[in-house]
Copies of this chain bind each other. A is one copy, B any other.
Amino acid sequence: MARKDPFFSTFQEWIELFMHRSMQGTIQYARENGLSMSMIGTLFHLNLRGHAGVSDLGQHLGVSSAAASQMLDRLVEEGLIERTEDPDDRRMKKISLTEKGCQIFRESLSARLRWLDELEKGLTDQEKQTITSALQLMIDKAHDRSPMVKE
């Protein structure tokens, strides 16, 4: 049950710390701005993937496509996303962030990362370099591309 593996256990500890911060911030942000967690999840998804279908989004969030459609109505009202027809299959809609939606998403994310500034202050350049490399490594792997060789 307990994994000795320092990679995994360190990661898990980090996640407990990190998610506590970021989730609390996200929950509060959502509440203040009248967004549901489904909407937040949708914004994250679209930000990363560019676009998605209605049922797609529903599946990712674990809700029916009817629920997804209704939720998207509200995001359209807010001007955060747009529905366009998929030219290849006109039954489908391509859901994507509007420019405004993209901007607001990124701004709110930065705002919720203010604690990073505090963290950064306590680090030497050497330490920041270590962390930046490690994160870049994970980003590369996640995108399934080989690590950048050198700069």
Interface residue ranges, A against B (CB under 8 Å): 3, 6-8, 10-20, 22-24, 26-28, 31-32, 37-38, 40-41, 44-45, 47-48, 60-63, 109-110, 113, 116, 118-120, 122-123, 127-128, 130-139, 141-142, 144-145
Contacts and interface: CB of A to CB of B under 8 A. Distances in A.
The interface residues of chain A, by DSSP majority, are classed as helix
Contacts of A137: 123, 127, 130-131
Nearest to A129: B7
Nearest to A137: B127
Contact of A24 (B12, B45, B118): B45
A20 B47 CA distance: 9
Contacts of A144: 122
Contacts of A20: 44-45, 47-48
